[in-house]
Amino acid sequence: MRGRMKEIKGIIPPIITPMNEDESINEHELANQVDRLIEAGVHGIFAFGTNGEGYILNEDEKEIVLSVVIKTVAKRVPVYAGTGCISTKDTIQMSQMAEKMGADILSIITPSFAATSQEELYLHYKRVAETVSLPIVLYNIPARTGNALAPATVEKLSGIDNIVGVKDSSGNFDNMLQYIERTRNKDFAVLSGNDSLILWNLLAGGVGGISGCANVFPQNMVAIYEEFVKGNMDEAKKAQDAIRSFRDTFRYGNPNTIVKAAVELSGYPVGKCRSPFSFISNEGIIAIKKVLEECKKAGIR
């Protein structure tokens, strides 16, 4: 199982879920987005993550999305499936469904809404891991879930054979650094979920990032990793710095709402995020358009 950790690296977009006007899944455009991202050089495709609106898709819709993604990817890159639910029972059910369908790696967000202790989190992940054979990447995003995976808990979970990595979206670099430090000798993958920290994750010993911005600028985000691997630090820094102006537009709404709007404004019919998470002010739309135009002129894609 640890040998499969080599697949977990680079830039993995949590692919957006294109929707029609009636908020049904636009399967044709989803397949188009998969091809677009793979052609840009991404190192994996992550179905129904936060940017894929996994929080608002029902089980049947997740099955549709995963089916389209797996079929379209056609084993060109690993497919990640976000199978975390609030309960351990539902997480097991979703994880087993994803494994049966042919996903390569599971990304499991912490339970949300109700506060959980670190021991409860440990037992939750342990029980899930015992029911599947796929590699599991833990997912820490306390601002959204209300529950944080402590570095000591991640270290303890890293001792379970098929728990092979963690995505940290806390935005706290020291927290991510502690994940790296505590698992450095365990063949364990630490990924940044904050796009601004991808290069710094790599410099500290991490393996890359699950990048929402890769839906908008896939070639640029891939360049952060590829230039770093080649030892071209100036180019890696240039690619890392290039997304600052776009990330500054996140003040106009939910980040995944901004990302999806940016893809739509770039000419792809991906639709809006599912209501009620779909509003961006006119000021925000103007700001996004301005940044996209500036990035286009600068060759940032």
Q: Enumerate the active-site residues.
A: 139, 167
How far is CA 126 from each of CA 56, 92, 96, rounded to the nearest angstrom? 25, 11, 15
Tokens (6 digits) for 156? 């303890």
Residues forming a β-bridge with 209:
11, 192
Q: Where are the alpha helices (DSSP H) in 74-161?
A: 88-101, 118-129, 142-145, 151-157
Q: Are the C-beta atoms of 8 and 189 separated by less than 8 Å?
A: yes
| CA diameter of the chain | 51
Using the 8-state DSSP alphabet, how is residue 106 labeled? E
Residue that has been written with the tokens 């309960």 in this structure? 87
The whole-angstrom separation of Cα 36 and Cα 188 is 29
How far is CA 257 from each of CA 149, 158, 263, 288, 300, rounded to the nearest angstrom? 25, 33, 10, 12, 21
Let me know how long the chain is: 301
Residue that has been written with the tokens 């021991």 in this structure? 119
The whole-angstrom separation of Cα 247 and Cα 7 is 28
Which amino acid is it at 44?
A: G
